[in-house]
Structure 1
Amino acid sequence: MKLCEGRVAIVTGAGRGLGRAHALKLASHGAAVVVNDLGSEASGVGSDPSPAAAVVAEIEAAGGRAVVDGSDAASWEGAAEMVRKAVEELGRLDIVVNNAGILRDRMLVNMTEEEWDSVTRVHLKSTFAVTRHAADHWRSLAKRGEVPDARVINTTSHSGLYCNVGQANYAAAKAGIASFSIVAARELQRYGVTVNAIAPRATTRMTQGLREWNEEQLRMRDPDWVAALVTWLASPESKEVSGRVFEAWGYGFTVAESWQHGATAEASLDPTEIGARILDVHRRSRKNAGIDLGEELDP
């Protein structure tokens, strides 16, 4: 059974890694795909149209439909061009998978302004820009009485959710994407659009060198596990699921349950009365969750 037959998807950063896996899996389930990729290095430097072209060729060789898009997903004009290309060249737009990203890891005290700006731009601004133009298209359809059955799937990260040392720029952008996804889900539901986010654990060029993985871990970190969840979330079957953040890898698909209220201290207008109360609720509240399941972190 093909879950996305007749649907049209945009996948950003689709030339390699997770984006490539998403594009191929969506195409294998009947979706036509706008394969967007600048073809830059993992750090965001340079450009190369060949990775996106290779993915399109692979989709077409398997009997699917796809077009190359070399737009900068983080530019307002580039995001608008992607939506235009989907509608005009592939006939419609049903799915947006915001996957584009780069890494510029550095400890906070050594991080430059450019390293901060470039990472937050590619991750967070591109997610906003592409979603914004797609949402405008779907709102226009809804106003004409054509209720969409549309999907946005954004890419957050365990670093953003659970705060990895040495990635202040990346974690801030990815945490922003998680919150953005929940807000967007609430705002766009009236137009027939669901919005979810995934926090993938996959081995790609962006994770190379982080640590050594054994054979089982490599198998469980194959991008195809994540692409399977993305494809289901992109399908009509997922209509009731929106505003969720999912952790995804071969070991399972887990709902990340957002911030929760902890213990509460009685308020006071006098700062001298607050200290003992705050120390008490600090001790009684749960520690921040860590990246590993069940792990807790001290601040």
Structure 2
Amino acid sequence: MPELPEVETTRRGIAPHIEQRRVKALRVRQPKLRWPVPAQLPQWIEGDCIQSVERRAKYLLLRFSRGTLILHLGMSGSLRIQPCNTEPGKHDHVDLELDSGQLLRLTDPRRFGAVLWQENGTVHPLLASLGPEPLDEAFDAAYLQRCCKGRRTAIKALIMNAEIVVGVGNIYANEALFRAGIDPRRAAGRIAAARLEKLVAAIKSVLAAAIEQGGTTLKDFVGGDGKPGYFKQALDVYGRGGEPCHQCGEPLSEIRLGQRSTVFCRQCQR
């Protein structure tokens, strides 16, 4: 599933092509995505300009004069900029045709993505309870310490909870915990403040590095320009169970934690 760096990479890739562009037509070939595409969507956005392209957690927000188009890439979705005369493929479900002669195309083989609408002055339920962005100043050691206080929840599960902090998906949780030297199974409430400060710094540095390298391509992800992400080459633990630790050389352990693959070093992470 595309995580925060992949979604941010997509945002940066498509924004220069679609901001301040008028939508000439919206074509929905398959309205049955994770949630139904609103039937009234064409009348809400056709003829209007895309004022800005923003990101909140793993959602892309296309701002219009009367509301916001919310896009989610699901498990295997991608957004591409293509000429308007490009023939659609089997899994090309939604097109925004622009006055530039280009279109923004949503491709989603598994149909777990979403195309939704938020009226101005309202907050969509999917966005209402989200925690702070991990790269914002609001996400700091003091905040994380408050969230962890008294909790028995494994620290990996806690930092993957979008109500605590958004966008720290499985890949980046594994990597940040390794950089911080923290065992992913450790109870959140039993981690010292100094170690939580190191974890916050690790989350920020891992996500920033992944964004700069275009995200992580493991199977399906490509950015808005159709190119894969290259952070996979920089992974220390994720997907490397049984291989030597980059720090101590001992084999990395791989377990299931919260139904997610979790890789860590028993020597380096405490």
Same fold (TM over 0.5): no
TM norm structure 1? 0.27
TM norm structure 2? 0.29
Q: Which has the higher contact order (CA 8 A, sep 6+)?
A: 2
Which of the pair is proportionally richer in strand?
A: 2
Which of the pair is proportionally richer in helix?
A: 1
